[in-house]
Structure 1
Amino acid sequence: MNTIPMDIGLAAMLKEAAKVGAKAALVEAGLERENVSYTYACKRYGKARVDRWLQSGQLNYRQDVFGSTKRELSKVDLQALNSGEKMVGHIKIT
């Protein structure tokens, strides 16, 4: 069997992409909640980062129930943004 040498940066980016895909699959299968509270997101990813994602329009609030005043954030979107920031560090510009 031939093995293909893999750049460490590429491996790290594939790992992050797999995490996002796994989170999306768990949510879609109903094994995890789709949304989390703003407070939870801030504890998990940092308030400054969550606020920056919201202000830039990369992340938006969601409402589970029509007419509900509770606003939540998508777990998959949060994971994707977090992973995206990690992936940028592995991109080499020559």
Structure 2
Amino acid sequence: KAQQAQIERARLEGAIAQNRLMVEQQQRSTELFAAVERVYTLHREMEEQLPLLREQSAALLRLASLQLEQGEIDYFQYYQSLELALEARMA
């Protein structure tokens, strides 16, 4: 009887370990799915914002050029505006 009890205990411990492993795998799978969803959401948001960023960048370049022509800003300020426009375009 003692040996049979040990066998049954080992079988139950194996089943418990297998169930824990399955739960762990399901949790990891759920976490991975959520992470993939976040990546797709961020990518979609970036794709939606890209045209607006390009428009803003072009508008900033036009404004800086006009301000430089009118003498409202100097070359250093114009350069700073160019940097901002390029950063916005590369974002």
Q: Same fold (TM over 0.5)?
A: no
Q: Which TM-score applies when normalising by structure 1?
A: 0.40
Structure with higher Rg: it is 2
Query: Which is bigger in relative contact order (C-alpha 8 A, separation at least 6)?
Result: 1
Q: Per residue, is there more helix in 1 or in 2?
A: 2
Q: Per residue, is there more strand in 1 or in 2?
A: 1
